[in-house]
Amino acid sequence: MTAILITDGNCAFCQRTATKLARIVPTGWVNVPSTELADTYGLTQEQLAHSVWLIEHPESDQVRHSGAKAVGKVLRIRGGLWGAIGWLTFIPPASWIAAGMYRLVANNRKFFSRFV
C-alpha cells in the first residue's frame, strides 16, 4: 500500500518541498500534483489549493489527512526520530503549534519559496 500525498500542482514551493520530503522518506508514499488528479479522491479544487492532503488506502476505505497532519503522517512512515516528529503533529499541544506553523507557511508560500 502506497499513500498518496496530493500537493498544489501550481505551486513550485510545494513541489520542491515534496521533493525534499522524498529524500527523508523515500518509500511508502508518492507525491501527486493536484493538477493531475481533478476530483479523483473527492476533494474540491479549493481544498487542494488550501492544504496538502495525504490519502491512505487510496484503493479502498480512504483515510485522509490534511496540512501538518499529512506531512506528519509521511514522517511516521519513515520511523525513528522523523517518525517521532511526525507523531507530534497528532498530539496536543504540539499539534496546535504544527497546524499554526503549517498555515503560516501555506498562506505565505511565495515568500518562503526563496528558502526552499
pLDDT digits 0-9 by tens, 54-95: 999 867 778 999 999 999 999 999 999 999 999 999 999 999
Does the model's pTM come out above 0.85?
Answer: yes
23-41 pLDDT, tens per residue?
999 999 999 998 776 567 8
Helix (H) or strand (E) segment spanning residue 52 = none
Q: Which of 15, 27, 7, 9 is nearest to 74 (CA)?
A: 27
- State how far the Cα of 21 lies from the Cα of 19, in Å rounded to an integer: 5
**pLDDT confidence of 1, banded at 50, 70, 90?**
low
- State how far the Cα of 19 lies from the Cα of 24, in Å rounded to an integer: 9
